[in-house]
Amino acid sequence: MTPVLMAWLEHRAQQLARVRRVLIEDLKVQREPDEIDPDAPLFGTGLGLDSVDAVELVVSLETEFGFRLDDDALARPSMRTVNSLVDLVMRKTGGSHVAP
């Protein structure tokens, strides 16, 4: 593993931790951070969020990470799993969801 990759992985792990915290504190998911599987679905099944939570999720992410999501933020691909949220965060915070 190259140092560049290790740094990217470390960064991604931090973003995952922050996304997990948003889910726990703002969306009231009743789990510890490491009990939230990175590939867990968000809506319907998985973490069991519903439509009322969807807007709250976007707003909480915007607040936590400081980026703005437009209306297509609720666009489905980025809101499917915890990892897809982290991918979104990586892209929106000037990075990439793909390792160098």
CB of 82 to other proteins, least distance (A): 9
d(CA 26, CA 48): 14
User: By the criterion CB under 8 A, which residues form the site for other proteins?
Assistant: 1-2, 5, 9, 12-13, 28-32, 35-41, 44-48, 50-56, 59, 62-63, 71, 76-77, 80-81, 83-84, 86-87, 90, 96-99
CB of 65 to other proteins, least distance (A): 13
Q: What share of the chain is helix, strand, coil (3-state, %, to 5)?
A: 60, 5, 35
Torsion of CA 46, 47, 49, 55, to 10 degrees: -110
CB of 15 to other proteins, least distance (A): 11
C-beta closer to other proteins: residue 37 or 93: 37
In 10 A of CB 12, how many CB atoms? 20
